[in-house]
Structure formats: C-alpha cells, structure tokens
C-alpha cells in the first residue's frame, strides 16, 4: 500500500517516534527522547532539526547547573500535522473511529 | 532506532508505544501523602489526648503548629521540586500541581474566613476538601486506595459534623487520616520502589 498523502516529515520512524512522545507531554528533554527512542544522539539531533525546520516542534537550549539542556516542545502546527497524519493513516488502514 | 520503511500498521504501533511510554513517566513516591498524613494524624491524636487530659483549650495551638510545619515542608518540597531536573513535564503533573495549590489556598481561605469572620468552625470542612483532592488525584493517577481514601474522608466529614464532642471529632480525624492518607501513601511508596527496582534491573 502506498502512502502518498501521508506527511513525509512525519512518515519516518524516528521523527514519528519523537512526535508521538511529544504529543502526550508538555515538554521533554533531549536525553529523555533519546532514551525512549533508543536513537543515537547524532541521528536524533538531525531528525529534531528537521521537525524544527518544519515548524512542528520548538527547541530551547539553555544551561542548567552548568550543563547544556535541550528541551523540545510540540507546536500547534505540529499538533495539527500529527492529527492529520493519524487521521490519514486510519483512513488508509480502514480503522473505524 | 533504525530508519526502516514504515508500514501503516508499524506507524500506528509506534505511535501507541511512544504515547504509552511517555504516560508511564508519571511517578509518585508517596512522600507528600506521608508527610501531610503523619502531621494530621499526630495533631489529631495529640488533640484527642489533650482533650481527655483537660488541656482542650490548647488544641488550637497544636493545629496551628501543624499547619505552620506543613506549609514550611510544602515550601521546601516545592523548592526542591523546582531545582530537580525533570527530564519530562507531563500535562497531568502540571494539572495535579495546580489542584494541590488550589487545595492549600482553599484550606487557608477556610481558616482565614472562620478566624476573621468569627464564624463557627468545623474540621468537617477540612475533610471534605481533602476528599475532593484525593478523589481527583487518585482518579488521575488511577490509584484506587486514594479514591477509597477520599470516600473515607467524605464519610469522616459527615461524622465530624454530627459528632458533638470535640474528642470524638479528633478520633474520627485520626482514623480518616490513617485510612485516607497514610495507608495509600505507604502503598504508593512501595509501588514506586518496586518500579524503580525493575527499571534499574532493565538498565543493568
């Protein structure tokens, strides 16, 4: 089955995992996302950057107790994109709502 | 996580798995319930004993002292929570924190209102408020002992309104705190420790 209409930004394993994590929390640290997705720091950084460029997430970098801390938060655009993605996926799969 | 080609089923499964995983992040060690529970329990028992020994007129000071200790401990806890590095902030935790703040503000409003307005005060109002907090909190974290505790506290509030002897109020109060706060608090702590141990085992 082809998924031509599915958002290509979200239809990637790691980016979808990041968005699924962020949809249910207020905000999460990079280390938390890395642990939950089992991704490497480098790959995760690249994918987070893609989501940020698409306007789906906000990334805040700050220092806490002299350590760099990167926090990610889903944006309203990201929430809408995620909802559309799930709706499209459900209609492709014929899932009844 | 490898970048494999995703099928529709894989996508849905991944979404569910990640959402579940972030839901599991909400953890409570029961410390707040135990601290508040022991303070209330001690104040109730001491008040009851004082009542029987003929020092009932000093009971107000006992409860005032308990409230001061409780508020200081709450402030310390709030500061340490703020300082602690939370890797994730859930919507539920945010909401529960707001409800907790609302509880303490309501508690102070009842006290201030009855003191300033010179109205007759009943401990029953406290227990209605506690029950309200526990019911919402227990439902949110799906922890039945707290919900049961809430019903016990509502029943205790009625008992306190009906009781005419202050010493009986204090006995009901101690019992309500024991069942409503302390037992669920220790159960939460035990669950938290078990969870931490299993997480450590997985990490090792």
Residues spanned by the domain of A37: 13-93
Which of A70-79, B91-100, B156-165 has the weakest average pLDDT? B91-100
In a domain, A6, yes or no: no
Shortest distance between the Cα of A30 and any Cα of chain B, in A, equals 8
Residue A27 to residues A45, A49, B124: CA-CA distances in angstroms?
Answer: 16, 16, 39
Comparing alpha-carbon positions, the chain A residue that sits nearest to B88 is A28
**pLDDT interval class at B84 (50, 70, 90):** low
Q: Which of B92, B204, B26, B87 is nearest to A32 (CA)?
A: B87
Measured CA distances, A53 to A59, A94, B80 (Å): 10, 32, 35
Mean pLDDT across the stretch B90-118? 82
Minimum CA–CA partner of A88 in chain B: B8
Which residues 25-64 of B are in CB contact (within 8 Å) with A?
25
Of A11, A20, A38, the CB nearest to B19: A20
Residue B1: predicted pLDDT: 58
pLDDT class of A82 with cuts at 50, 70, 90: very high
Name the residue with higher pLDDT: B88 or B54: B54
The domain total for chain A is: 1
Give B119's pLDDT tier (boundaries 50, 70, 90): low
Q: Is residue A78 part of a domain?
A: yes
Q: Does the distance separating the beta carbons of A1 and B22 come in below 8 Å? A: no
Question: Which has the minimum average pLDDT: B29-38, B132-141, B190-199?
Answer: B190-199
Distance in angstroms (rounded) separating the CA atoms of residues A59 and A49 = 9
Of B18, B90, B91, the CB nearest to A17: B18
> Does A7 fall in a domain?
no
Q: For residue A62, is it left (φ>0), alpha (ψ between -120 and 50) or beta?
A: beta
For this complex, say whether ipTM is above 0.90. no
pLDDT at B86: 67
Mutate one of B16, B17, B18, B82 to test the A interface: name it (highest A CB count within 10 A).
Answer: B18
**8 Å CB contact of B90 and A1:** no
Q: What is the pLDDT of residues A11-30, one digit of tens each?
A: 889 999 999 999 988 899 99
Residue at A27 is within a domain: yes
Q: What is the pLDDT of residues B2-47, one digit of tens each?
A: 556 678 888 888 898 888 887 767 777 788 888 889 998 999 999 9
**Is the residue at A4 inside a domain?**
no
Evaluate whether residue A21 is within a structural domain: yes
What percent of chain A has pLDDT above 70?
Answer: 93
Q: Residue A71 domain-assigned? A: yes
* pLDDT confidence of residue A69: 85
What pLDDT sits at residue A95? 64
pLDDT at B188 over 60: yes
CB contact under 8 A, A86 and B15: yes
**Which residues partner with A68 through β-bridges?**
A63
Q: Is residue A5 part of a domain?
A: no
Task: Give the domain CATH number at A89.
Answer: 1.10.10.10
Residue B148 has what pLDDT?
94
What angle do the packed helices B8-23 and A76-93 form, to 10 degrees?
130
Question: How does strand A57-64 pair with strand A67-74?
Answer: antiparallel
Q: Return the percentage of chain B with pLDDT > 90, whole number.
A: 26
Per-residue DSSP letter, B56: G
């Amino acid at each position: 089955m082809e998924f031509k209409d599915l958002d290509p930004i979200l239809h990637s394993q790691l980016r979808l995992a990041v968005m699924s994590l962020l949809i249910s929390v207020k905000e999460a640290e990079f280390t938390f996302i890395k642990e939950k997705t089992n991704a490497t720091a480098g790959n995760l950084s690249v994918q987070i950057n893609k989501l940020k460029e698409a306007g789906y997430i906000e990334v805040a970098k700050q220092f806490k107790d002299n350590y760099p801390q990167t926090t990610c938060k889903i944006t309203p655009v990201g929430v809408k994109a995620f909802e559309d993605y799930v709706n499209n996926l459900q209609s492709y799969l014929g899932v009844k709502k | 996580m490898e970048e494999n080609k995703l099928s529709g089923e894989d996508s849905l499964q991944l979404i569910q798995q990640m959402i579940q995983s972030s839901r599991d992040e909400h953890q409570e060690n029961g410390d707040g319930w135990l601290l508040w529970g022991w303070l209330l329990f001690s104040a109730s028992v001491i008040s009851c004993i004082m009542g029987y020994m003929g020092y009932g007129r000093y009971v107000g000071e006992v409860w005032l002292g308990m409230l001061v200790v409780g508020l200081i401990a709450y402030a310390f806890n709030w500061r340490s929570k703020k300082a602690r590095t939370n890797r994730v902030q859930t919507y539920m935790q945010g909401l529960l924190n707001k409800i907790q703040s609302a509880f303490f503000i309501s508690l102070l409003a009842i006290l201030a209102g009855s003191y300033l307005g010179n109205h007759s005060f009943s401990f029953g109002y406290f227990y209605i408020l506690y029950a309200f907090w526990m019911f919402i909190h227990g439902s949110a974290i799906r922890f039945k002992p707290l919900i049961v505790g809430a019903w016990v506290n509502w029943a205790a509030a009625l008992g306190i309104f009906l009781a005419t002897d202050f010493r009986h109020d204090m006995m009901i109060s101690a019992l309500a705190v024991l069942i409503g706060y302390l037992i669920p608090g220790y159960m939460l702590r035990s669950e938290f420790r078990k969870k931490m141990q299993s997480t450590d085992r997985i990490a090792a």
